[in-house]
Amino acid sequence: MHQLLIDQLREIRRPVEVSLPDGSSITAPPCPAENLGSLEFCADLGIRFPYLGGSMAKGISSVEMAIELGKAGMLGFFGAAGLPLATVEAAIDRLMAAGVPFGINLIHSPQEPDLEQALAELYIRKGVRLVEASAFLALSLPLVRYRVHGIRRRPDGSIETPNRIIAKVSREELAVKFFSPPPEKFLAQLVAEGAISGDQADMASRIPMAQYVTAEADSGGHTDNRPALALYPTIRSVASRLQDEHRYDVRLMTGLGGGIGTPHAAAAAFAMGASWIMAGSVNQACVESGTSPAVREMLAATRQADVIMAPAADMFEMGVTVQVLKRGTMFPMRAAKLYDLYRSCNGIDDIPAPERDKLEKTVFRSSLAEIWQQTRAYFLHRDPRQVERGDRDPKHRMALVFRWYLGQGAHWAKDGEASRTVDYQVWCGPAMGAFNEWVDETFLALPENRRVVTVANNILFGAALLTRASFLRCQGASLPEETLRTEPLEDAKIKEYLR
Ligand SMILES: Cc1cc2nc3c(=O)[nH]c(=O)nc-3n(C[C@H](O)[C@H](O)[C@H](O)COP(=O)(O)O)c2cc1C
C-alpha cells in the first residue's frame, strides 16, 4: 500500500488520488521539477530547471561542471576568483564553444581594484552575457560598466540590456543597491569617458543594477552565517518594495542559496517562493569539481558539525572569516592562532621566541624570514605596493606572511598536496553534512559516484516529490513516513521521472 503511494508520488507529472479515512478522496496535482521555481527566470536564462551551481574560486566550479549542468538544462557559474586572466579567458572560450548557458563569477576585490576592472573588461570583450556578482560591499564602476555595456532601445521603446547580473547577497542593504538603478555618479563617469552615450545613461537610469538576486544564507566560503529562513523572506520583500518604487519594465526576482544539499532544503526554499536555488558545497564534492580526490574523500566523510569559521586570506587584517572544513585538517585552528598573533603583536620580531619557533617548525616549515622573501617576490610581480608597505610597516609584513599560509592552504587542498593534508583549507558549509546524511548507504555515499547532475536531479526530484506530499498533507492526509523518504536514484531512473 505504502509502496503504491510512493510510486504514485514519484510520477510527478501525474495527479495522485488518496482516500481519507472518512471515505472522501483528495488529489495532489502534478508537480514537474521545472515548475518548482520561476518559469520566467528559466526562460530568461534559457534553462529548463531552476537550479544554479554557484561560483567556487580557483576553478573549483570548473568548466566541466558548468558544461554538465548546462547540458542538463541547469546553469553553472565558472569559479573565476583567484585565477589568472589568461586562465579565465581560456575557460570562457571553452564554455562558449560548448554552446550551453553558463555564467562566470565577477568577484568584488576592494584590495585589487585593477583586477576587478580587468575581469569586467574581459567579460565585455568576450561577450559574456551573465555574471554572478559577489562579495560586493558597494557597487563599483567596473560592475556598472559591465551591466550597461550595449544597452539599447528596442523598436517598441523598451530597454534591452544584453549583460545580466545575478547578484549574491546576504544583507538587505546590498539587495537594495542591486535592485536600484546604477548610481548616477558612475553613469556620469562612463559618459565622461565616452564608454556610453548620454542617451544610454538615461536608459540605464531606468533599469535595475541586477534583475536577479540570490539570497545567500549560511554557506561554504565567505558567509555571514544568516539562517535561510530569516534571510530569504527579507530579500524577497526588498525585491517587492523596489519593484513598486521603480516600476521597472522587468520583474525583480530572488533565489536562495546556502544550506541546500537535500530535497527537503530545496522544497523549503521553493515553498518560501525562491525562483531558483543555488548549491555550492555539495558540488565541490562531485567528480567534475576542480578540487583534488583527497578533498572529495574528506568531503564525503563530513557531517553537519564538521565545519567552522576561520580567518579569510583575502580580508585577513579586517577580521573577515570563511566557513571551512574542520574534520581531518588543522587549518582552522592554525589560522585562528595566526590571527590571534596578528592582533597581539606589532610585527614578526614581536612574536615570543617559543611561539615563533613552533610556527616555523609546524605551520610554515620554514623560517618566517624566508617566507617573507618568497611573499615579497610574489607581490613584486603582482602588486608592488604591498612590497613597499611591507618593507616599511612590520605589522603589514606580518600580515602578508600569515596570509601566505592561508593562501597556500587552499592551494594544497586543491592540488591534493600529500605532505600538507593537515593544512588543507577546504571551504565548506553545513549543506555538505546534510547531504552526506541523506545519501548514507546509497550509491551517492561514494565520492566517485557523485556527479553534479545526478546530485542536482535528485535534489530537484526529491523536492518535487515532497511538494506533492505537502499538497496531500494540507488537505488532511496523514502520510506514512516512508512516503516522505527521498532516497537518491540512479541516473536512468531519475531521468525517467524528470523526463
Ligand atoms: C569551495 C567553495 C568555494 C567558493 N568560492 C566562491 C567564489 O569564489 N565566489 C563566490 O561568489 N562564491 C563562492 N562560494 C559560494 C558558492 O558560490 C555558493 O554561493 C555557496 O556555496 C552556497 O552555499 P552552500 O555552500 O551551502 O551550498 C564558494 C563556496 C565553496 C563551497
Q: Is the pLDDT of residue 130 over 90?
A: yes
CA 386 to centroid of ligand 1, rounded, Å: 27
- The pLDDT, as a whole number, for residue 158 is 93
CA 222 to centroid of ligand 1, rounded, Å: 7
Select from 219, 262, 278 the residue to mutate for testing ligand 1; criterion: most ligand atoms less than 8 Å from CB: 219
In this structure, the residue with its CA closest to atom 6 of ligand 1 is 56
CB 132 within 8 A of CB 77: yes
CA 79 to centroid of ligand 1, rounded, Å: 9
**pLDDT confidence of 397, banded at 50, 70, 90?**
very high
- The pLDDT, as a whole number, for residue 440 is 97
Q: Is the pLDDT of residue 168 over 70?
A: yes
For the chain, the average pLDDT equals 96
CA 280 to centroid of ligand 1, rounded, Å: 5
CA atoms within 13 A on the CB side of 176: 6
CA 50 to centroid of ligand 1, rounded, Å: 18
Q: How much is the average pLDDT of 91-114? A: 94
Select from 106, 427, 452, 459 the residue to mutate for testing ligand 1; criterion: most ligand atoms less than 8 Å from CB: 427
Tens of pLDDT, residue by residue over 287-319, are 999 999 999 999 999 999 999 999 999 889 999
User: What is d(CA 249, CA 211) in angstroms, rounded to the nearest whole number?
Assistant: 11
- The pLDDT, as a whole number, for residue 413 is 98
CA 219 to centroid of ligand 1, rounded, Å: 7
User: What is d(CA 401, CA 409) in angstroms, rounded to the nearest whole number?
Assistant: 13
Instruction: Classify strands 152-153 and 159-160 as parallel, antiparallel or unpaired.
Output: antiparallel
Q: How much is the average pLDDT of 47-59? A: 98
Q: Which residues contact 200 (CB under 8 A, 6 or more apart)?
A: 148, 151, 152
- Counting from 1 in the atom list of ligand 1, the atom nearest the Cα of 259 is 26
Q: How much is the average pLDDT of 371-391? A: 93
Query: Residue 267: which region, alpha, beta or left (left: phi > 0; alpha: psi -120 to 50)?
Result: alpha
Q: How much is the average pLDDT of 379-404? A: 94
What is the SS3 assignment for the chain?
A: CHHHHHHHHHCCCCCEEEECCCCCEEEECCCCHHHCCCHHHHHHHCCCCCEEECCCCCCCCCHHHHHHHHHCCCEEEECCCCCCHHHHHHHHHHHHHHCCCCEEEEECCCCCHHHHHHHHHHHHHHCCCEEEEECCCCCCHHHHHHHHCCCEECCCCCEECCCEEEEEECCHHHHHHHHCCCCHHHHHHHHHHCCCCHHHHHHHCCCCCCCEEEEECCCCEECCCCCHHHHHHHHHHHHHHHHHHHCCCCCCEEEEECCCCCHHHHHHHHHCCCCCEEECHHHHCCCCCCCCHHHHHHHHCCCCCCEEEEECCCCHHHCCEEEEECCCCCHHHHHHHHHHHHHHCCCHHHCCHHHHHHHHHHHCCCCHHHHHHHHHHHHHHHCHHHHHHHHHCHHHHHHHHHHHHHHHHHHHHHHCCHHHHHHCCCECCCHHHHHHHHHCCCHHHCHHHCCHHHHHHHHHHHHHHHHHHHHHHHCCCCCCHHHHCCCCCCHHHHHHHHC
CB 438 within 8 A of CB 262: yes
Q: How much is the average pLDDT of 36-59? A: 98
CB 422 within 8 A of CB 329: yes
- Alpha-carbon Rg for the chain, nearest whole angstrom, is 24
CATH 3.20.20.70 fits 33-290, yes or no: yes
Tens of pLDDT, residue by residue over 466-487, are 999 999 999 999 988 888 889 9
Closest CA to 280 of 65, 38, 443, 68: 65
CB 423 within 8 A of CB 405: yes
Ligand 1 pocket at CB < 6 A = 54-57, 60, 79, 81, 105, 107, 132, 134, 168, 216, 219-221, 257-260, 278-281, 284, 427-429, 431
CB 455 within 8 A of CB 434: no
Tens of pLDDT, residue by residue over 32-41, are 999 999 999 9
Length of the chain: 499
Instruction: Name residue 132's beta-bridge partners.
Output: 105, 166
- The pLDDT, as a whole number, for residue 109 is 86
- The pLDDT, as a whole number, for residue 314 is 86
Helices 113-126 and 141-148: crossing angle in degrees, nearest 10, is: 10
Tens of pLDDT, residue by residue over 250-276, are 999 999 999 999 999 999 999 999 999
Tens of pLDDT, residue by residue over 179-199, are 999 999 999 999 999 999 999
Instruction: Classify strands 16-19 and 152-153 as parallel, antiparallel or unpaired.
Output: unpaired
CA atoms within 13 A on the CB side of 408: 21
Domain ranges of the chain: 33-290, 298-423
- Counting from 1 in the atom list of ligand 1, the atom nearest the Cα of 81 is 8
- Counting from 1 in the atom list of ligand 1, the atom nearest the Cα of 428 is 31
Q: How much is the average pLDDT of 55-72? A: 98
CB 279 within 8 A of CB 40: no
Tens of pLDDT, residue by residue over 227-252, are 999 999 999 999 999 999 999 999 99
Instruction: Name residue 213's beta-bridge partners.
Output: 167, 254
- The pLDDT, as a whole number, for residue 382 is 85
Q: How much is the average pLDDT of 387-396? A: 96
Amino acid making up residue 128: V
CA 247 to centroid of ligand 1, rounded, Å: 32
In this structure, the residue with its CA closest to atom 3 of ligand 1 is 56
- The pLDDT, as a whole number, for residue 113 is 86
CB 41 within 8 A of CB 275: yes
Q: Evaluate the CA torsion angle 252, 255, 135, 417 in order and state its sign.
A: negative
- The pLDDT, as a whole number, for residue 1 is 58
In this structure, the residue with its CA closest to atom 14 of ligand 1 is 56
- The pLDDT, as a whole number, for residue 485 is 85
CA 165 to centroid of ligand 1, rounded, Å: 17
Q: Hunting for cell 576568483 — which residue is that?
A: 81
Q: Is the pLDDT of residue 31 over 70?
A: yes
CB 214 within 8 A of CB 175: no
Q: How much is the average pLDDT of 208-212? A: 98
- The pLDDT, as a whole number, for residue 112 is 82
- The pLDDT, as a whole number, for residue 14 is 96
In this structure, the residue with its CA closest to atom 1 of ligand 1 is 427
Amino acid making up residue 97: A
CA 388 to centroid of ligand 1, rounded, Å: 33
In this structure, the residue with its CA closest to atom 12 of ligand 1 is 55
